[in-house]
Copies of this chain bind each other. A is one copy, B any other.
Amino acid sequence: MKKKITLKHIARELGVSISTVSKALKNSEEIGADTKEKVQAFAKLYNYKPNNIAISLKNKRTKNIGVIIPDIVHHFFTTVFRGIEKYANAKGYNVIVCVSDESFDREVINMELLANGSIDGFIMALSAGTQLKNDYNHLKEVTEQGIPLVLFDRVTEDIKCDKVIINDKKGAYNAVTKFIKDGRKRIAMITTEDYFSVSRERAAGYRDALSDNGIAFNEDLILKFPSMTIDEKVIEDFFNREKVDAVLSVNEIFAIHSMRLVQSKGLKIPEDISFIGFTDGLLSKYASPGLTAVAQHGEHMGEIAAEMLIEKVESELEEETYTTRVLEPTIIERGSTVN
């Protein structure tokens, strides 16, 4: 087993000082050509690579960025992550991921852990628990320490930092408008509780589109789930109770479940009832019929988040200007709506 070699080893072996070795490896002009050659040859032979940790300690820069997401087995977060990873890697940064599992406590613990020197900045989407509790002190502490933070998708007004979101309101607005143009009258919405920032925005877009088209808002057509988990029975009751001809869902899981249910009741999609779901993921693509989706462009979102973060990390001056990038959602038409 050939252990990692350090400057000290090389210096001792070659009978020179550590700083000479250090300079020689950086091709410093101060060092004589022969010494340089000797040192470089030796370093190459033993495959010397500087120790990242030592460099981090010295530079007070780790070249790591911390990503905290609620769930990794979730297509949208996964695409965002890919964008982050891609951009960060290209810039020479590594990505440390922690999963909050939608829990406030785990989000806090992970953040504090990473904040103690492990990373240069954070990119994160708030956990459900955090949004429910509405407590952002852990974020505040981090930003007050001067650690850059970028929030994406699930954000909060309470924290001053860079953010990147999609225009959820407009996405919902456009979807509902499309339904209305297609002649739909009783448009339902399946969503989660309001403490999710995205759900609130989407609900607002839904209501705006209805009112702009002279359709009265009907509370009975809103189906709310307390979390990301589904109760098949509740969906069934809903569709037995309410006669609807279009459904906007805040995620594809709810949408797919509903589609299967109404199909089993003998309804035809999109003739009798049409569907649009947020988060253009695999399920939307492979459902039968395909689910028309509001694409959130996760990968692009991730790239932008990483770009914003790294810019802040690398900028010397600490101006306190924070920007929010709003990406435009796109509707991907598939078989669940008429064209």
Contacts and interface: CB of A to CB of B under 8 A. Distances in A.
Contacts of A110: 89
B2 A144 contact: yes
Interface in A128-181: 141, 144-146
A99 interface: yes
Contact of A116 (B49, B72, B79, B82): B49
B146 A49 contact: no
A183 to B, nearest CB: 26
A79 B85 contact: no
A41 interface: no
A270 interface: no
Given A2-B145, A78-B72, A51 B288 contact: no
Given A85-B98, A89-B98, A96-B97, 20 more contacts: A1-B144, A2-B144, A2-B145, A49-B112, A49-B115, A52-B113, A52-B116, A54-B117, A72-B78, A72-B85, A82-B99, A89-B110, A94-B98, A94-B114, A256-B286, A260-B286, A263-B288, A282-B282, A283-B283, A286-B286
| A: interface residue count bin | 35 or more
Contacts of A57: 51, 53-54, 57
Contact of A286 (B56, B79, B283, B318): B283
A97 B99 contact: no
Contact of A78 (B51, B73, B116): B73
A104 interface: no
Contacts of A116: 4, 49-52
Interface of A: 1-4, 47, 49-54, 56-57, 62, 64, 72-73, 75, 78-79, 81-82, 85-86, 89, 94-99, 110, 112-118, 141, 144-146, 256, 260, 263, 282-283, 286-288, 318
A144 B114 CA distance: 30
Given A3-B146, A52-B118, A144-B1, A96 B99 contact: no
Contacts of A256: 286
A47 to B, nearest CB: 7
B2 A52 contact: no
Interface centre among A52, A54, A81 (most CB of B within 10 A): A52
A73 B82 contact: yes
23 contacts: A2-B145, A47-B141, A49-B112, A49-B115, A51-B116, A52-B113, A53-B53, A53-B57, A53-B62, A54-B57, A57-B57, A64-B118, A72-B82, A72-B85, A94-B113, A96-B97, A260-B288, A263-B288, A282-B282, A282-B283, A283-B286, A287-B288, A288-B288
